[in-house]
Amino acid sequence: MKSFSRKLLEWYNPTNRNLPWKKTNDAYKIWLSEIILQQTRVEQGTPYYLAFVKQYPTVKRLANAPLDDVLKLWEGLGYYSRARNLHFASKQIMQLHNGKFPETHAEILQLKGIGNYTAAAISSFAYNLPHAVLDGNVYRVLSRVFGIETPIDSTIGKSTFQKLADDLLDKRNPSVYNQAIMDFGAIMCKPQNPLCENCPFSSECKALQLDKINLLPIKSKKLIKTERHFHYFVLYDSKNIYISQRTENDIWNGLFEFPVEEVNDQWSIDNSDFIKKIDPQSSIINQPLSYKQTLSHQYINGYFHEISVKKLPKLDKSYLKIKKSDILNYAFPKIIRSYLENRLIFIS
């Protein structure tokens, strides 16, 4: 469809979504915004983008920052591997490119945490290079307008859609075109209730003609979520409290938490290995407080056992004894932050 680009650009109004990163062609800032916005809504991501630009205005400042500080600023945004990769890639830019953000698609693609979509977004938005973006918005628009039923999460689907996206790209102005198609997916061709009545493609859109709007795009794999149960031990005395850092190759790597036991439904506090390390007779163990968090692929149940002791017992080095007044300086997963927001006054 030759007129696709023309119609799209006629529809596009740069002020439709007045986002702070649209006003810059600084590749570093565009990179920050793209990583922050992966799997994150614009309203949630915008304050994080502004905070990162303020605290780390250059690649060098980000590369020189301790990872724990970067994770702390990222706290609450989820998918923490993005923050770790961002930090790692900033060091790559310092080492491989003398601190200057790379200017070719191939070099950008070499950076940790950057895939085809992000490389295309940065190289087109910052340098106007002819690389077509293909994100969830673009998959949805193309599958609906052209009636493509190939699953978007299959190898053949990915290459089919990428080829079509490349063919449709307005090579004279890839930056505007890429922005236009992403805005179009976000504003007009929304996942639910797309605005077909006002759509410039309504006369040719296959999904509209064939009444398949709610079926497209097609995904072949159904996501199966697992359920996990974390029992946290909030062990504290009048001054200090124990926390530990997650180091396993698992969710929330690098974040902090309370001493924890991950268990199945059958768990009882009487069988807890952690409780055996302390003297439960001298402690007050409240009924656990329950919190939940839903991740993209897991349901997390957190049970917080508050244990107040006169003097903290000595635990091994994997546990960190910190001042209670310092606790908010550490980056915690959302489920623990929610708990702290409600209970800090009681444990401090």
Query: Where does this chain bind ligand SF4 (CB under 6 A)?
Result: 141, 144-145, 188-189, 194-196, 199, 201-202, 205, 207-208, 213
170 three-state secondary structure? coil
CA dist 265 and 229 (Å) reads 7
Which residue's CB is nearer to ligand SF4, number 17 or number 311?
17
DSSP states of 201-267 as a string?
TTTT-HHHHTT-TTT-S--SPPP--EEEEEEEEEEE-SSEEEEEE--SSSTTTT-EE-SEEEE-TT-
Which residue's CB is nearer to ligand SF4, number 168 or number 213?
213
Which residue's CB is nearer to ligand SF4, number 89 or number 132?
132
Shortest reach from residue 201's CB to ligand SF4, in Å: 4
Query: Which secondary structure element, helix H or strand E, spans residue 277, and what is its range?
Result: helix 273-277
Shortest reach from residue 264's CB to ligand SF4, in Å: 45
Name every residue whose Cβ is closer than 8 Å to that of residue 348 and which is 6 or more positions away in sequence: 324, 325, 327
Shortest reach from residue 212's CB to ligand SF4, in Å: 9
CA dist 125 and 173 (Å) reads 10
Shortest reach from residue 183's CB to ligand SF4, in Å: 13
Name every residue whose Cβ is closer than 8 Å to that of residue 71 and which is 6 or more positions away in sequence: 80, 83, 84, 254, 255, 331
Both structure tokens of 244: 């530990």
Shortest reach from residue 16's CB to ligand SF4, in Å: 15
CA dist 56 and 53 (Å) reads 5
Which residue's CB is nearer to ligand SF4, number 63 or number 213?
213
Which residue's CB is nearer to ligand SF4, number 214 or number 238?
214
Which residue's CB is nearer to ligand SF4, number 1 or number 195?
195
User: Across-strand partners of 294?
Assistant: 299
Shortest reach from residue 180's CB to ligand SF4, in Å: 13
User: Given 34, 75, 257, 261, which residue is catalytic?
Assistant: 34
- State the number of CA atoms in the 13 A half-sphere of 43 facing the CB: 1
Instruction: Tell me whether residue 34 is one of the annotated catalytic residues.
Output: yes
Which residue's CB is nearer to ligand SF4, number 86 or number 165?
165
Shortest reach from residue 53's CB to ligand SF4, in Å: 33
CA dist 45 and 146 (Å) reads 31
Name every residue whose Cβ is closer than 8 Å to that of residue 128 and which is 6 or more positions away in sequence: 173, 174, 175
Query: Which secondary structure element, helix H or strand E, spans residue 307, and what is its range?
Result: strand 298-308
Catalytic residues: 34
